[in-house]
Amino acid sequence: MTSQLRLCFRIAFAAALAAPALSHAQRHPSIFINRTEAAAIRANAARYPLLRKTLDAARAMMTQAFAAPMDVPQPGEAGGYAHERHKQNYREMQTAGTLYAITGEARYAAFVRDMLDKYAVLYPTLGAHPLSKNQAPGKLFHQSLNEANWLVATSIAYDCVYDFLKPAERARIEKNLLRPMADWLSVTHAKEFDRIHNHGTWAVASVGMLGYVIGDTSYVNRSIYGTKRDKTGGFLRQLDLLFSPDGYYMEGPYYIRYALMPFFHFAEAIQRAQPEVGIYRYRDSILKKALYSAVQTTFPNGIFPPINDASRTMAIDAPEVVLALDLAYDRYGANPNLLGSAALQNKVILSGAGLAVARDMAAKTTTPAMSWSSVEFTDGPDGKRGGLGILRSGTGLDASMLLMKYGVHGEGHGHFDKLHFIFFDGGREVVPDYGFSRWINIEPKFGGRYLPENDSYAMQTIAHNTVVVDETSQNEGKESAAEKVWGERRFFDAKDPAVQVMSARADRHSPGVAMQRTMLLIKDARFSRPVVVDLFRLSSGADRTYDYPIHFRGQLIATDVKYEGRSTKQEPLGKGFGYQHL
Amino acid sequence: MTSQLRLCFRIAFAAALAAPALSHAQRHPSIFINRTEAAAIRANAARYPLLRKTLDAARAMMTQAFAAPMDVPQPGEAGGYAHERHKQNYREMQTAGTLYAITGEARYAAFVRDMLDKYAVLYPTLGAHPLSKNQAPGKLFHQSLNEANWLVATSIAYDCVYDFLKPAERARIEKNLLRPMADWLSVTHAKEFDRIHNHGTWAVASVGMLGYVIGDTSYVNRSIYGTKRDKTGGFLRQLDLLFSPDGYYMEGPYYIRYALMPFFHFAEAIQRAQPEVGIYRYRDSILKKALYSAVQTTFPNGIFPPINDASRTMAIDAPEVVLALDLAYDRYGANPNLLGSAALQNKVILSGAGLAVARDMAAKTTTPAMSWSSVEFTDGPDGKRGGLGILRSGTGLDASMLLMKYGVHGEGHGHFDKLHFIFFDGGREVVPDYGFSRWINIEPKFGGRYLPENDSYAMQTIAHNTVVVDETSQNEGKESAAEKVWGERRFFDAKDPAVQVMSARADRHSPGVAMQRTMLLIKDARFSRPVVVDLFRLSSGADRTYDYPIHFRGQLIATDVKYEGRSTKQEPLGKGFGYQHL
């Protein structure tokens, strides 16, 4: 797509937004599921196993919710009861709303109404959450990010039950709860709202979706264009800058996994409320590329490579990916590999898109399998800041996958790990990435916040499978310096399945040292498994110390290198850059 | 059963053996599967899924075997190619023989014949294996134990194809291979043959089974009564001494798992060749108790508790347990819990017994689940040498299991671990046993032999969840001393599912120190999971140092005990008894 054509879309988009809004009461938008889709789901639930399963799970969740007393507690610490209760509440509201749309049963709508009423009483009494530490605070939650999560789900729930509510009920809920929360997110914390970062995406999606539901174009506009309406922030800016032209997300797969939900929820809302805009075609269909690139980075078992600050267990069946995959399948067209991914997910969303996936899955006589090819993603908004190479060999769970990282730093969650590699083989990460250092949802461990060891170890170069120069991390472990440089791709050739190769340089990460790593994935009949060949060339004008860590996840069986055991005393390898932990 | 009654059986048994043997050619014994069973398997394979699955796997194994060149290599190192090849060869012969019995297809019988011919050429050229180290050597394998494994499987194969072979072929094979091997096991290594130990059981089973197949009662008699025919060794003596009256096997579950195969294979052969003996009723049906007690010790996921020298992954679906379970089910009668165990095994043996299990499983509309109750096993041949207590709460995989060990030492594989406990909860060992220290089948790691660390760490008291006195293992880590003492049960009460309790003493394991441990498994509505209460009382006239290790398998989240991290230097905790490794 040329830049001229892209410009056309933007103009069309702006024009559409500027058009006079229809009377809201006449045309309620249905940002997630409409009456036609609901009828089709009712008609086909028994025929499509994935759909039935998802519907049964939703009903079971609500059965449990109805059985317990409804609770909207005072805010608490992350990972603690109140925090988890508020999270569960928005999940239940979203599920109840969707089930009301599908079944028309009043008890589901009444559940959403009653809970919103409780929130509408509590919310005006709250100030900023006292335990926010370094983040922008929410009121219900310690960080505004969770508040935006809450508002995305609740906007869908509110949308579904909108016509069920009396005007006075709507007025009370919007005045005391929904508008104050949207203002908190977009006015009080305007800076967070305008961030080109997944936190910003959650914020704009939540406020923009609410805008459509309650018919307030000012919420919609600030979400699309940023609080200053000049595209220095907002959804379009995020779509421009957070992805490379290939759709690779610069914070890495774990964060695109998380960001896929606001990106796709908001895009779907825009598509439904203002289809003339063509948001799904924006930037040469960047949302399609975003979903595909995310799914294509997964290990053969469906787990996302834990690049940068990332969990080692987050997988393709996360609800965010289910949402994005179903919508991409529906909006961009069927794809056998996507259906293979959906088979790993083993659930769908409860909308027309989920129906389409469930229908196509039911038509298959054998379960589709995910089987991606080798692929290279460019990095940086212009696609010229290095990239990520993935070589694959074999099929299904038994496939091997070699990944090398030579792109941008990736902002606050980035690790100092250029030319780092991961090797997945025989169903597991054999040479793994350490991922992040935190205890998700464990209250006594700072509520799951990042631990000091995330900075002192997990981010440092020595925690990765790449050379460390003079026991010092790349760019001396400074984010500001690391953000200014990136890896440089040399070549990537996966045409011959017997010898696949990728090569990249990092010359600006350790002063005075030029580094090139060339990795080959070789399939040869003389070996039962594919073999990795690793060529690492370093050159420097001065004497240097090079450490070459390989964090092998297994047992050392035999070696022709003589080594000395330290069985009487062990001391840390060094004093900083992660060495103090080794 | 009174001792008088037991005596009756023994007399009957001896009388039967002394009866004049029938002409062998007239009545070939069929020690594993006969023509009636083969016909029933053919008739029902399509109807019973477990049977079909097992049969398909057997056929697939032989398809692979037929596709590769037959190889009978010169003996090699444990874990290496030749060792594994000889193991695979006997598995293939046994499978081919059984398939010949079932299908009548000549290619299966010819496979056994051709392979036996190759062995009959190789075997006479071999001397004792040079790599035997501390064990009695075999010729094909480094230890005679493996040779007995080979002969058990091959006796079944030979039995199945006996009538297919020409008399000259049989004569050659028996003269050059089978008899010399049986003599090697029972004459050259008579001491090993007479051992009251699982190695002895393998030896007597292999020689006795061959004796039935080739019609040599001298082999049968020495196997039953020992080489001196006076019951100082042999199968009956093993049945008398290796089990407590409850059927608990004094070496522990991992070794009974292994020993179940020769015990049941030989018993089944005796039953078929001389049914009048009633071997299955011997010692108050001790073989029934042996199988039941083994299965009843498993964790809810079917893995055997790794007590003593034991693997941490050996499970109920091991072929030895499949064999014993199917035969016990068939010989001693149906049992729902046994069927639940068979469901975990997900395969059967290819004989009338396996057919019975597959038939009853096919009749179930839902998959049976294994759900054992709390149970205490006595230890020692007289049942008066302490025991093993198992408290359980909950059902299926989610059940909790608390095990305390207070029996005998358990011979060469025993650990110095009285009053040690294991706790299984939430689908895994939360407070585990370390098991043994070896690398099964890894050639560069001494072929899987026990490592020096098995003695220096795995066996020592500190490696277990029990108190260590003065940094010294129980009985100073000396097997001879430990064999002379055992734990003492105090009480065991599992009647009330809310409060189950077991208590035992160990007063002769650390000189001058009396120890009593009382463990409770409590189910209370105020806790989401069962709770363990551990009361450990130690008394001594002098000052002592007590270490109370709990090898918790998980993450320390919070503690109200202040502790100091050792982040700058670590040194071994001590100089011996396992402390040097910590």
SS3 A526: coil
| Confidence tier at B52 by pLDDT (50, 70, 90) | very high
Averaged pLDDT for residues A193-222? 96
CA-based nearest residue in chain A for residue B566: A571
pLDDT higher at A403 or B13:
A403
**Under an 8 A CB cutoff, do B567 and A572 touch?**
yes
Provide the pLDDT for residue A27.
58
* CA of residue B344 relative to chain centroid, distance: 18
pLDDT of residue B164 exceeding 50, the answer is: yes
Chain B residues touching A446 at Cβ < 8 A: none
- pLDDT tens digits for range A463-480: 999 999 999 999 999 999
**DSSP conformation letters of A434-485:** ----B-TT-TTTGGGPBPHHIIIIITSGGGSSS-EETTB-GGGG-HHHHTT-
CA-based nearest residue in chain A for residue B448: A557
- Give catalytic status of residue A219 as yes or no: no
Provide the pLDDT for residue B27.
58
Phi/psi of residue B146, each to 5°? -65, -35
**Under an 8 A CB cutoff, do B558 and A444 touch?**
yes
| Confidence tier at A554 by pLDDT (50, 70, 90) | confident
For A:418-477, CB contacts with B below 8 A are: 439, 442, 444-445
Chain A residues touching B81 at Cβ < 8 A: none
**Under an 8 A CB cutoff, do B572 and A571 touch?**
no
Provide the pLDDT for residue A16.
42
Q: Which residues fall within 8 angstroms of residue B246, CB to CB, at 6 or more apart?
A: B289, B293, B377, B378, B383
pTM score:
0.79
**How far off is chain B from A381, nearest CA to CA, in Å?**
40
Query: Measured between CB atoms, does B559 come within 8 Å of chain A?
Result: no
**Of A90, A158, A212, A255, catalytic:** A255
**Under an 8 A CB cutoff, do A568 and B570 touch?**
no
Query: Measured between CB atoms, does B580 come within 8 Å of chain A?
Result: yes
Structure tokens at A298: 């997964």
Structure tokens at A16: 């559409």
pLDDT higher at B347 or B440:
B347
Provide the pLDDT for residue B276.
86
Mutate to test the interface with A, among B568, B579, B582 (most CBs of A within 10 A): B568
* CA of residue A316 relative to chain centroid, distance: 10
Mutate to test the interface with A, among B438, B440, B557 (most CBs of A within 10 A): B557
Provide the pLDDT for residue A250.
83
pLDDT exceeding 90 applies to what percent of chain A?
Answer: 83
| Region at A410 (left for phi over 0; alpha for psi -120 to 50; beta for the rest) | left
Averaged pLDDT for residues B275-285? 93
- pLDDT tens digits for range A232-272: 999 999 999 999 999 999 888 998 999 999 999 999 999 99
**Under an 8 A CB cutoff, do A568 and B571 touch?**
yes
CA-based nearest residue in chain A for residue B555: A439
Mutate to test the interface with B, among A441, A559, A569 (most CBs of B within 10 A): A569
* Residues of B carrying an active site annotation: 255, 413
Provide the pLDDT for residue B290.
96
HSE of B375 in the Cβ direction (CA atoms, 13 Å)?
17
As a whole number, the mean pLDDT across chain A is 92
Kind plus residue range of the DSSP H or E element containing A201 = helix A198-214
Query: Measured between CB atoms, does A571 come within 8 Å of chain B?
Result: yes
Query: Measured between CB atoms, does B2 come within 8 Å of chain A?
Result: no
Span between the terminal Cα atoms of chain B, in Å: 50
**Under an 8 A CB cutoff, do B568 and A567 touch?**
no
pLDDT of residue A569 exceeding 90, the answer is: no
Q: What is the ipTM of this complex?
A: 0.71
Averaged pLDDT for residues B438-443? 82
As a whole number, the mean pLDDT across chain B is 92
Chain B residues touching A444 at Cβ < 8 A: 557-558
Mutate to test the interface with A, among B446, B570, B579, B581 (most CBs of A within 10 A): B570
- pLDDT tens digits for range A506-546: 999 999 999 999 999 999 999 989 999 999 999 999 999 99
Q: Which residues fall within 8 angstroms of residue A188, CB to CB, at 6 or more apart?
A: none
* CA of residue B470 relative to chain centroid, distance: 35
- List B469's β-bridge partners, or say none: B472, B546
- pLDDT tens digits for range A349-407: 999 999 999 999 999 988 888 889 999 999 998 999 999 999 999 988 889 999 999 99
CA-based nearest residue in chain A for residue B558: A444
How many contacts (CB atoms, under 8 Å) link A and B? 28
Provide the pLDDT for residue A114.
98
Rounded to an integer, what distance in angstroms lies between the CA atom of residue A120 and that of residue A505? 56
- pLDDT tens digits for range A90-119: 999 999 999 999 999 999 999 999 999 999
Q: What angle do CA A57, A62, A68 make, to 5 degrees?
A: 135
Instruction: Return the closest-CA partner of residue A409 out of A386, A382, A391, A438.
Output: A386
Averaged pLDDT for residues A46-56? 95
Averaged pLDDT for residues A440-458? 86
Provide the pLDDT for residue A462.
97
Chain A residues touching B567 at Cβ < 8 A: 572, 580
